[in-house]
Amino acid sequence: MAKEPRPIEELSIWDDAKAMLKKARAEGIQTVHDRLDRQTPHCKFCELGTTCRNCTMGPCRVSEKNPLGVCGADADVIVARNFGRFVAGGAAGHSDHGRDLIEVLEAIVEGETSDYKITEENKLRAIAGEVGIKTDGRPTMDVARDVMECFFADFGSRKKEVSFLSRVPKVRKDKWAGLKMIPRGVDREIAEMMHRTHMGCDNDAPNTMIHAARTALADGWGGSMIGTELSDVIFGVPTPKMSTANLGVIKADKVNLLVHGHNPVVSEMILAAARDPELLARAKELGATGINVAGLCCTGNELLMRQGIPMAGNHLMTELAIITGAVEAIVVDYQCIMPSLVQVSGCYHTKFIDTANKARFSGAIHFDFQPKTAMKQAREIVSIAVEAFAQRDAGRVDIPCEPVEIMTGFSNEAVTAALGGSLDPLVQAIAAGDIRGAVGIVGCNNPKIKQDSLNVKLAEELIKKDILVLVTGCVTTAAGKAGLLVPDAIEKAGPGLKKVCGALGIPPVLHYGSCVDNARILQLCAALANALNVDISDLPVGASSPEWYSEKAAAIGLYAVASGIYTHLGHPPNILGSETVTNLAVSGLEDLVGATFFIEGDMVKAADMFDERIKTKRKALGLSE
Ligand code: XCC
Ligand code: SF4
């Protein structure tokens, strides 16, 4: 018997989401929430992490009654192996994205493309210096070639450590060296994780977990950091600017083209092509007043940070954006793109266009997007969107709200510039206790949780306590829609944060970018630790992913912890079937890396936990609580 669907009121905190969920039900369109209802209750073994499918002597499910798999693996080994592979999946996603940026740099260096350029010579030279490449008096292209070679080599197995470990405080690196946790090469750590978890290899759960941490560090300080830094070099370093968010950014009188996924390589070209006079003229001929490019998820974040495009929504808004009936095309690259978007698009005139061979969707229009032909392909894609405008059914259009204002563009370079050229004023504000600490809230939506209820609540609770919040990924749109990403939001902050942010004219919640841009937060923590001559784990900082769902979020959480950052998750990963692994995650790691995970579903309590932690760290630094 079919289950009753959950009431719409329980699915999201947002009016725009609820309006579109009603429309979906009225029009008979299935969403992620309907499918979750059909998938629950989930398999208990899988939830606990005690299922193993790593060979065909199994699959095995272990329990108290049946504690060993066919090969003899116990729950600890099985849970650790599953978690290790989960993290490797996330690290692979971020890092392969990073590699794609190196390939664009290669196309620039080899003269194969004129559509992409080195926009930030100074940044290119600065990072070259950081990874030990000579820059003095050398032509930019020579430096760029060496940077490209260096970063390609970071993915291999010939290095002792990935290049950006030059940013890590020495005490932290020594700690990693002692634990055999130094990330040597991005692909190497991911491949080794697959090897270790083959039947008959690493059968010691803590040892597997240490390698999981090394794999995650290869993501944070390797693949993701390369992705962020080269995106800045090619597309520009983000600077503060205003934009807008929610489904109201979709415009009834315009051709609406949504960009979705993670990588700016395709979407930056789409945005440029949407300004092409010929395409604009054609849009006008068909009765539109212009071409509107709006963002979803992290591709949206990338373009929001650098170009200020409006944000239509985060993960759980992606189906709902199409349900407005006013989207001519959705153009995707990879990651977090629900395959259901093809079906939802099919219910309207919406064209679903994929652009990467590694992320193809049956039923999509496919473009094999290449740096050489990028602009030409982008024009073709935008043209498909423009022509689709003629097929729009005005009777089915419902754009449920007006957009809200948000401020974006907080790169470390922009923050340093706003502070007058160095991080010293930030260090002083922390020392004075005006800013008591900082927490990065990152990651996703998960249909098991009322959309954005935790993301917003935690941010609100923390700023009240004079804790600066940095947001990335899908938490961005949540914070934006809640009115936390504008300077006026200081009214919701504690007195210290209000004073500092008020003087600088910035919000108490800063948009720090996409999910790979969590590397910016790592870099900031390392810079603060170096400035104070302490370890990252000595800083009054934390990280959180309240509504996470993805393998990538697990990789981010683990590299944060392994870097010494106390990290909150709103719900546990599938590890509870092993006491050894669970205890290691929530307490044992403290002795090893100076930080742990903590799991808490109540955001008032989570904020209190951060508060306690920050008090302890401030005291140890000789500061007021
Ligand atoms: Fe995906 Fe990055 Fe999560 Fe959003 S936050 S649901 S991973 S888009 Ni990264
Ligand atoms: Fe079962 Fe061991 Fe094979 Fe896993 S590796 S499926 S536990 S026999």
Which pTM value belongs to this model?
Answer: 0.98
For residue 613, give both structure tokens.
Answer: 């932690």
Q: Is 8 exposed, middle or buried (0-12, 13-18, 19+ CB in 10 A)?
A: middle
Say what the pLDDT of residue 2 is. Answer: 60
> Given the DSSP bridges, would you call strands 404-408 and 241-245 parallel, antiparallel or unpaired?
antiparallel
Q: Give the chain's end-to-end CA distance (angstroms, integer).
A: 57
Nearest Cα to Cα of residue 267 among 123, 374, 109, 350: 374
Q: Does the predicted interface ipTM exceed a cut of 0.90?
A: yes
Residue 61 CA, ligand 2 centroid: distance in Å = 9
- The answer to whether the Cα torsion of 546, 550, 556, 558 is positive or negative is positive
Instruction: Provide CB contacts within 8 A for 197, sequence distance 6+.
Output: 54, 81, 84, 85, 208
Say what the pLDDT of residue 4 is. Answer: 82
DSSP state at residue 7 = P
Query: 10 Å Cβ neighbour count for 146?
Result: 18
Query: φ, ψ for residue 450 (rounded to 5)?
Result: -55, 120
Nearest Cα to Cα of residue 308 among 259, 244, 263, 250: 244
Could you say which ligand is closest to the alpha carbon of residue 61? 2
pLDDT in tens, 342-357: 999 999 999 999 999 9
In this structure, which amino acid lies at residue 589?
L
| C-alpha separations of 7 from 25, 37, 82, 240 in Å | 11, 11, 34, 39
DSSP state at residue 185 = -
The structure tokens 């490797």 sit at: 88
| Residue 444 beta carbon below 6 angstroms from any ligand 1 atom | yes
Say what the pLDDT of residue 499 is. Answer: 97
60: three-class secondary structure by DSSP = strand
Nearest Cα to Cα of residue 470 among 510, 435, 442, 436: 510
Could you say which ligand is closest to the alpha carbon of residue 317? 1
In the chain, which residues have pLDDT < 70?
A: 1-2
Instruction: Out of 341, 444, 476, 545, give the residue to mutate to test ligand 1, the one with the largest number of ligand atoms within 8 Å of its CB.
Output: 444
Say what the pLDDT of residue 80 is. Answer: 98
Taking CA atoms only, the protein residue closest to ligand 2 atom 6 is 58
CA angle 397, 401, 404 (to 5 degrees): 135
Domains identified in the chain and CATH numbers: 11-61 (no CATH), 75-235 (1.20.1270.30), 247-396 (3.40.50.2030), 407-620 (3.40.50.2030)
Find out whether 60 is annotated in a ligand binding site.
Answer: yes
Structural contact between residues 79 and 50, judged by C-beta atoms closer than 8 angstroms: yes
Residue 582 CA, ligand 2 centroid: distance in Å = 21
Instruction: Provide CB contacts within 8 A for 359, sequence distance 6+.
Output: 261, 332, 333, 334, 335, 337
| CA 310 – CA 294 distance, rounded (Å) | 5
